[in-house]
Structure 1
Amino acid sequence: MVELLESISKSNETLLRENNIDFSLQKCVNFLGIGTSADRCYIFKNKIANAEIIIDYEFEWCNDGIIPYIDNPELNGLSYDAFPGLYDILSSNQSIHGLVSKISNEYFRDLMTMQGIKSYLFMPLFSNDLFWGWIGFDNCNNERLFCESEVTALKSVANNIGLRLEQETFERNLTNIMNELNAFITNSNQAKWEWNLESNIFKFSHNWFGMLGYKETELSQDYETWKSLVHPEDLPAAEKKIKNFIEGKLNKYEGNLRMIHKKGHEVWIKYSSMKFLNKKNKVIKLIGTHIDISDYKLKEMELKISEDKFKFIAENTTDLICQHNTLGVFTYVSNSSIDLIGYDREDLIGKNPDRFIHPDDIEMFDKLFIDKKVNSSTLRFLKKNGDYCWLEVIAKPISQNGRTVAVQTSSRDVTSRITAERETANALQKEKELNQLKSNFVTMASHQFRTPLTVIYSNIELMSYKTGDVSKKLKSDIDTISTRIISEVDRMTELMNNILIFGKYESGNLTVDIQQINLELFVSNLLDVYHSNKVAIRKMKVEVVGQTRLIKSDENLLMEVLNNVISNAFKYSQNKRSPILKISYREECFEIKITDFGIGIPEEDQKHLYKSFFRARNTTTIKGSGLGLIIAKQFTELLNGTIHIDSKIDEGTTVTLKFPYEN
């Protein structure tokens, strides 16, 4: 019995210390075979094949002179049918032992006798409450029966073998789980950490470092590293929680905390862990995961802020904030309803807005709930005092799982705006009618004036022709008078032309006809046709800077601009040196600069230069209409150009025109 107990002790030690389960079981068979003074000790293992339980001969120890059967194929793949009643006894966790000669089943007895077995002991092995197999002991040299104390002692070691098998199964499953977990974590935004409490060794996965912006080689794998990266405000609670988890005061170690990224910003981490115990129920290892939930946390905070903002806005805004069910019925009304429409929220909640909306506008309101393309409308709403006010209503659907479950509306009182818009529309219509009347009058008046002016001009020429035979003195007087009349006719004609052009611009009837133009030839022809009758000593000097190139513009509009500016240059510089026209071909535009050396423009008058019929205070003795510069500015802008005037009193004026090469 002493030898048996020693063999059981050695077996138990082997089961505890050996990592390899097969090696451990083989040593147990060796120890127990010797300790029981048996001739053969072996283990049969249950397997499932074709939906049937079979047994395989897995481990064996034999005494000297005893034939081994470990490699005998006839002992592998056997059905329990070969051992009638054996499965029922062993699977109920009962051992069976006795003399072979006393076995009642003939087939079983013959099988045992054929192997030279005279007495036997079969002890069941259970793992995770499942019948795993059995350990057998054979006596071949004598019919020695196993006593009850031996059976009891061997049952204890059988239980320990079962526990070792359970541990092996658990560790195998755990390894598979960990392999799957590692594969999952490696290919996801999750990270794994492991803390061996016995060796105090930490292991962090590659992702653990990566989600904090570090490489694995930049930080040591220890508790202090984790501690240094946890946000200082979250560290005390996290350390207390992990301590309580290890000590068993907490069943779970999970939650959220902030960690510090290498770049300095916060990373929100969702953490969880499981613990592993030894046989003494002491925690020996923690394995956990980290998940970066910064995006989720940001959205959560944004949602909270949005909810707070909505509540604040809804309760404090002057707009009317409402929520409606899909039929339009009020389900929420903000406090502003009292000030805006006179109703308490209780007056509206549960009611359909149709009863408050002007009958002519109900269809527009209903479209906010029916037509997805319509999200705003302006309609009349009946106030509590019986008056209608204009509300601008903006609607936004509230969706859940892709389905509209409610509608939120925001309304503001736009009665003043609608009234102003209507008044403005009426004023604009009247102004349009007045402008049309003015335009018609200007056109009519100009044409009506042209006819008598033409007659006057013709008669002056005829009178000059018919006075060819009169005395020199009389003819001189007549020519002087004729010249005055012609000058005034020219002045009146110029005024009518400017008024007609100005009227066309004001009425929007001007069209722009873009053509390719040789600018230098265009300017030369313009000066020859319109300004060649100037006194011979005062001719416009033309200068050109840069490489000549063609431009695209409207000849008529450009001619009106240059004519008005050139005319002013001559008109306001009489008895002075000739004006200068300078053409500059720049990279991005062409520039025409016209400079005269005349009377200049008073500084206080320059801000009024582009007002209709305005004339500077120093031009009262010089004939002019006050329309030339405004026409030049309007036509310059029609050609996408700019005009700029620099002038000093008694020194002269420079008008700078800039135009793009293409319009």
Structure 2
Amino acid sequence: MPDFSIINLAPIGVGFSIIALWIIYYFLNLEVTRRQRAEAILRQQTERERLVNQIAQHIRESLELDEVLTTTVAEVREFLQADRVLIYRLWEDGTGSAITETVLPEYTKILGETFPEEVFPREYHQAYSLGKTRAIANVEQADVESCLADFVKQFGVKAKLVVPILQENREADKQRDSKTPASPPYLWGLLIAHQCDRTRVWESWEIELMKQLATQVAIAIQQSELYKQLQTLNAELEHRVQQRTQELAKANVSLRAEIAERQRTQAALQALITASPRAIFTLDLEGNVKIWNPAAERMFGWTEAEVIDHPNPIFLDDQLEEYNTLQESILQGTTYTRVELRRFKKDGTAIDIVFSAAPLHDSDDSINGMVAVIADITHQKQQEEQVRLLQSVVVNTNDAVVITEAQPIGEPGPNIIYVNEAFTRITGYSLEEVLGKTPRILQGAKTSRAELDKVWTALSCWETVTVQVINYRKDGSEFWNEFSIVPVADQTGWYTHWISVQRDITGRKRLDEIRMALERERELSVLKTRFFSMASHEFRTPLSTALVAAQLLENCQDEWDNSSKRLRNLQRIQLSVKNMVQILDDILTINRAETGKLEFNPKLLDLEEFCSDFVEEMRLSTDERHTLSFVCQGKAVPASVDERLLRSILSNLLLNAIKYSPEGGNVHLSLEFKSDTVILQVKDRGIGIPLADQKQLFEPFHRGKNVKSIPGTGLGLVVVKKCVDLHQGHINITSEIGIGTTCAIALPLL
């Protein structure tokens, strides 16, 4: 028979194998998980130790408490991934402040705010003084005081961790005896972490980390306080240098009886000498250096090795009787507390010093040398000299100097705090009459408001400004005042005062007026000379022509009988009269424009038709050597112009173009319409205008040097300019010798 027991046991064995494998996998998975957790804990612990060591290292390297606290809160917030970390300082009056903080941008800053005692009552201090910490996972839970919950909610706090920063109560420990138990530590402040975006259960390692960091912060605080105490001691020692100098010389008498005290005193004095910012050295009776501190090395350049047991190098080159007498006096027991001298450094540089010295005594109270303390006052001397020079300049200058406060710039104005003697001499006001007043006391009816506005604008921008205005003396008399105002800033860059330097320029203004009057007289004289020259030539020529023609008609019967000759002579007379009338019209036009009597009567005019007709008129009186052309560009629209003045403009420009093109050629007139202006342009191929004469184109009776015998008055362009100005237009002339001249006039359409 088959063995059914064996057949039935096989599946059972397979099942046990699967179960065994699953159990092994389960325990392996547990082991892997356990190891991963252990590794995570180890990494976390390593990172905590790194953070604590890093902060401890920073504390050892820096004496700046603010820097240490700022670094600590920043690294704690980053490590804990908290939203805010701060250090809360408790003050003696029970209030507190957040003195250091790092917080994410989206949350309210607490830094610098001072909170009343109710925020952290004194009854809470005892528990924290004993090292208690407080981890709050949710500020709204039942065991959190409602007042505390309401207070922290205003800063968005949902969970917080508080660790005390403790200091040893050193003052109490000094006063207690060996039988009195130690007093609890002093609660300096709190290291606080906030979670604002959610509630948070604080891990035990996080609490432990905060406690370690609070301990490091306490060390930093203690280190900083010790450093401040050391600075205070150094300051006190420095303050007592002069006393200690004399005590140094007499210390040997008391040291014979108190060896231990002498050693402590010597150590303290040695530390004082080494740390002192002033040069200290001692000399024996032979004048050799026995002590030479680091400040002496820095001040004079000689090292200790170079001077010890050698003559004092500071006075080595000094053969003056004064120093020898001073040294002998000290060695005889005299003490000098402040003697100002000028000495030389090792490199030859001269410095000013204050020299204090006293004799040194041995155990028998005999003088065996001298000790000296020296301060470098070179910079102080330079500043004093600069101040003295500035005071001398301000007091003795002929210009008035006024110093005012910086504010207010607007009404009623900054108050005067100083004026020099020149100010009282110029204005007639005494110092007492202007102190506390504003510079506006000098202003009056004729003081230029525009210039004062310029001053106000500059002062508002804290800029320097210079103006000239009419001001008034105390007696009411006027004077021209030129003044410059500059701002003065303090060491922080904050503007604190204005300094104004003022000058009476009344005499200069009068000279300017006289000079301008003389210039006008000279110009009038030149104009009169030009006018008489022009008149004698331009009037004489047509008058001579008319006179000759009239005499021919009068004396020659043949001239009357011959109709062609009679007509030619009459035309000569008419042309001569016409030229003289044109000259007189130009002079009258210029005179009316100068006196404001030249009438301007604009009306809408078809410029294209007007210019075309005018060119046709000019063609009738032009010889065959010249050709006149006209072209219009753009969309023609009516323009508001004075027809009479426009005719004068075109007449002068076209006649000039023809006259100064003696060889003939084309004279071109163009008319161009634009959106808001119309451009009239006359172009010729004539002799051109020299560059030197182009600067005086619009001066009456002025003509180019190259016109030679071409007749003219020098008034045509002056008339054109006056007519264009009445139209509020612009004229531009370009010319080149031998090439020709282009005159462009722009007139507004409306």
Task: Tell me which interval the TM-score lies in, with the shorter structure as reference length.
Answer: 0.3 to 0.5
TM-score (norm 2): 0.38
**Quick check: which has more Rg, 1 or 2?**
1
